[in-house]
């Protein structure tokens, strides 16, 4: 598994305000969107392209365009929705699928409660977006689910990760043939006993959408 930690002062600046408990939901949503656009730039470095012949007002030339089939962005509901607009801004022609997963706050077990995805993801580049890579349980299940539909080119985009979550995802993937790339804003210190990232930013879903 390839992990890329984005190292940019603008990302660090925006993450600091995102973490601050005084940041209200509208500002949190805006910062999350801005951060994702910056991370998406990194995450799409190997997006598939193909040549295209065009004419400028001056001469004919060969350019490049996104290849078909177009990439698919998969936000993990609910918190991943807060990252969707930022991704779509950079990849407007991508398709969007949805995967609803929830973790039990006591056992930290993850269950899938909804999905809207193509049946066949063979040959598709898939970008999973989920703000927090905490225990890694959700992403292990999401990758497994998408790989079950044939996906073999999966990039995970997260705002924050815990070292334990990265290690868990890495060890679960080690025995598979699924190459996964993780692009993350930063890696924090640790997980606490409730599975929260420390220092983290709290519950990303609640901070985006309120406690519902």
**Would you say 87 is a known binding-site residue?**
no
Is cis: bond before 12, omega within 30 of 0? no
Q: How crowded is residue 9: how many other Cβ atoms within 10 Å of its Cβ?
A: 7
Give SS3 for 91. coil
Element (H, E) at 198: strand 197-198
**Would you say 78 is a known binding-site residue?**
yes
Tell which one of 98, 187, 203, 209 touches ligand URA (CB under 6 A). Answer: 203
CB of 199 to ligand URA, least distance (A): 9
Q: How far is 162 from 180, CA to CA, in rounded Å? A: 17
CB of 104 to ligand URA, least distance (A): 12
Q: Does 134 bind ligand URA (CB under 6 A)?
A: yes
Per-residue x/- mask for ligand URA, residues 60 to 99, rule CB under 6 A?
-------------------x--------------------
- Using an 8 Å Cβ cutoff, are 197 and 132 in contact? yes
Stretch that binds ligand URA, among 32-40, 117-125, 174-182, 192-200 (CB under 6 A): 192-200
């Amino acid at each position: 598994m390839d992990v890329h930690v984005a190292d940019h002062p603008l990302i660090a600046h925006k993450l600091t305000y995102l973490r601050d408990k005084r940041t209200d939901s509208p500002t949190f949503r805006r910062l999350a969107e801005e951060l994702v656009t910056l991370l998406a730039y990194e995450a799409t470095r190997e997006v598939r392209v193909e040549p295209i012949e065009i004419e400028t007002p001056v001469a004919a030339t060969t350019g490049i365009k996104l290849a078909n089939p177009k990439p698919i962005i998969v936000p993990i509901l609910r918190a991943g929705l807060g990252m969707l607009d930022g991704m779509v801004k950079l990849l407007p022609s991508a398709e969007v699928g949805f995967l609803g997963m929830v973790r039990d706050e006591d056992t930290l077990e993850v269950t899938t409660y909804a999905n809207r995805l193509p049946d066949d993801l063979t040959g598709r580049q898939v970008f999973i977006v989920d703000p927090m890579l905490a225990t890694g349980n959700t992403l292990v299940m999401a990758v497994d689910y998408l790989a079950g539909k044939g996906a073999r080119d999966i990039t995970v985009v997260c705002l924050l990760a815990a070292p334990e979550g990265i290690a868990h995802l890495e060890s679960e993937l080690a025995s598979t043939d699924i190459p996964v790339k993780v692009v993350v804003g930063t890696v924090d210190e640790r997980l606490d006993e409730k599975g929260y990232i420390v220092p983290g930013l709290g519950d990303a879903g609640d901070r985006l959408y309120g406690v519902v």
